[in-house]
Amino acid sequence: MKNSEQYLESLRRLKLRVFLFGEEVDSVVDHPMIRPSINSVAQTYALAFDPQYQDLMTAESSLTGKKINRFTHLHQSADDLVKKVQMLRLLGQKTASCFQRCVGMDAFNAVDSTTYEIDQQLNTDYHARFRRFMEYVQQEDLVVNGAMTDPKGDRSKRPSQQADPDLYLRIVERKPGGIVVRGAKLHQTGAVASHEILVMPTVALREEDSAYAISFAIPSDTEGVIYVYGRQSCDTRKLEGGSIDVGNCLYGGSEAMVIFNDVFVPEERIFMCGEYQFAGMLVERFAGYHRQSYGGCKVGVGDVLIGAAALAAQYNGVDKASHIRDKLIEMVHLNETLYCAGIACSCLGSPTASGTYQIDLLLANVCKLNVTRFPYEIARLAEDIAGGLLVTMPSEKDFKHKEIGPFLEKYLKGVEGVPTENRLRVLRLIENLTMGAAAVGYRTESLHGAGSPQAQRVMINRQADLEFKKSLARAIAGIA
Ligand code: SF4
Ligand code: FE
């Protein structure tokens, strides 16, 4: 396993082409706007060496028998699935942001079982190739960018019907020894913090779309791959040099647009190439895992937000008020309800044909649909408890100013015995989580990440088995 320093060194060795503010970034590791997101991923390495988290953060490889970071593990039991959710909650608590490494884990677990089933039906040899790639990922302890979401253009049209055929990533040329692909993947969590990109199709496909039925893995700095870093609310506060106004002093999440400008993919790294009939299976499995993930990571971030709201109440001297206590209880109830579904869909997991465990799909979709709602209510309650100063507070530079600083110190003070700065810090953290940079992960990503709410409703409808429920009602009502 790599430690966090070794991870940073390995990232430094990559030659990624990353654009931010219209300029090419020299070093992603050292860029002040990108670094907090790299710190989050680095925590997935650091905690794997912490003796108290060994059970959650590490696993025994099913491929080599060696001890590996759980973020590179193929789940071998329901217990593995439960531990994954617990691990993500832990990371959410430690970073209060998106730590980005789960997308790749969810992607390779889905590709593992899907390639096995393609081979069984079509006599291909994708699974053996994929397992060789996985051994490399485990051996080198890599971060994998799970890349699914295509731009999609006109949503009423299928990939092959688009005016511009590149709006879904596709094969543009078949060459001896590999293929050339063109297209883009949007909203790619952790893309610039990753060593490898694992590409999957984004929708179920028909025969006419078979050029779009591709899955492959390439190093993140492969020629022709270009990253355009995504903006976040209040992101330039990271360039101001202070530590209060950023809200989260150390960590953050990141997304990027990834452009594949005629990229060559060697045969050894291709895991699906035209087998359109398996695209839906891969999409559904990946989405299922990632919907489970949210029952862990968002809960961990929620823990931090609840803690911040409780601190804000304490600093304001209202922590004993019954309505405040009631609001905090409500936040805990909502947060733990998210966790319940994350744990439940894991406990009811079952083996796929490849031996890799899959979550219970219905409960994973219920989990994610809850996540599209409850963080918004938790955020609303946190803002309610925090009070209006959350959005009217002067800057860190004013607070430190020779003349006006003492006025702010005096008039923004809460209860006696608590430094004014602590009050400002906790309010900035709540701002960061509810409407600042981390709100990408805690709010909008809760809505759209791992599929928008309608995608979960479609899956819930498919899994609901209403005919069975009707038969129950008929039996009880005495209907023949
Ligand atoms: Fe992991 Fe959550 Fe970020 Fe997805 S949103 S990558 S599950 S931390
Ligand atoms: Fe996500």
297 is catalytic: yes
Domain boundaries, the chain: 282-471
Locate the ligand 1 atom nearest the alpha carbon of residue 449 and give its number. 5
445 is catalytic: yes
**3-state class of 335 per DSSP?**
helix
44 is catalytic: no
Q: Which CATH number does the domain 282-471 belong to among 1.20.140.10, 1.10.620.20, 1.10.150.120, 3.40.50.720?
A: 1.20.140.10
* Banded pLDDT at 117 (limits 50, 70, 90): very high
Which ligand sits closest to the CA of 104?
Answer: 1
* Banded pLDDT at 148 (limits 50, 70, 90): very high
Strands (E), 316-408: 350-351, 357-358
Output the six-digit token pair for 242: 């202070």
Phi and psi torsions of 97, nearest 5°: -160, -175
Residues 25/28/31/33 CA torsion (nearest 10 deg): 100
Q: Which residue among 31, 73, 195, 290 is the active-site one?
A: 290
Q: Residue range 234-253: average pLDDT?
A: 96
pLDDT value of residue 60: 98
Locate the ligand 1 atom nearest the alpha carbon of residue 106 and give its number. 7
* Banded pLDDT at 112 (limits 50, 70, 90): very high
Nearest protein CA to atom 3 of ligand 1, as residue: 98
In angstroms, rounded to a whole number, what is the distance separating the alpha carbons of residues 218 and 226?
13
pLDDT value of residue 462: 94
Cα(176) to centroid of ligand 2, in Å?
36
Ligand 1 binding residues, C-beta < 6 A: 98-100, 102-103, 189, 293-294, 297, 441, 445, 449
The helix-helix angle for 279-316 and 361-371 (nearest 10°) equals 40
Contact 442, 305 (CB under 8 A): yes
Contact 321, 45 (CB under 8 A): no
255 is catalytic: yes
DSSP string, 420-434: HHHHHHHHHHHHHHH
Please state, rounded to an integer, the average pLDDT across all residues of the chain. 97
* Banded pLDDT at 310 (limits 50, 70, 90): very high
For residue 103, CA distances in Å to 147, 244, 307, 339 come to 8, 30, 27, 19
Percentages (nearest 5) of helix, strand, coil residues in the chain: 55, 15, 30
Locate the ligand 1 atom nearest the alpha carbon of residue 293 and give its number. 7
Cα(286) to centroid of ligand 2, in Å?
12
Q: Which residue among 294, 315, 339, 357 is the active-site one?
A: 294
Strand 357-358 and strand 23-24: the pairing is: unpaired
273 is catalytic: no
Q: Which residue among 31, 73, 95, 98 is the active-site one?
A: 98
At 342-394, the pLDDT tens digits run 999 999 999 999 999 999 999 999 999 999 999 999 999 999 999 999 999 99
In angstroms, rounded to a whole number, what is the distance separating the alpha carbons of residues 273 and 215?
7
At 162-187, the pLDDT tens digits run 999 999 999 999 999 999 999 999 99
* End-to-end C-alpha distance for the chain, whole angstroms: 62
Mutate which of 39, 87, 95, 102 for ligand 1? The one with the most ligand atoms within 8 Å of its CB, which is 102
249 is catalytic: no
Distance of CA 135 to the CA centre of its chain: 23
At 252-294, the pLDDT tens digits run 999 999 999 999 999 999 999 999 999 999 999 999 999 999 9
In angstroms, rounded to a whole number, what is the distance separating the alpha carbons of residues 391 and 50?
38
Contact 359, 292 (CB under 8 A): yes
Locate the ligand 1 atom nearest the alpha carbon of residue 445 and give its number. 5
Contact 337, 370 (CB under 8 A): yes
Locate the ligand 1 atom nearest the alpha carbon of residue 103 and give its number. 6
Among residues of the chain, what percentage have pLDDT more than 70? 100
Cα(293) to centroid of ligand 1, in Å?
7
At 442-464, the pLDDT tens digits run 999 999 999 999 999 999 999 99
Nearest protein CA to atom 6 of ligand 1, as residue: 100
136 is catalytic: no
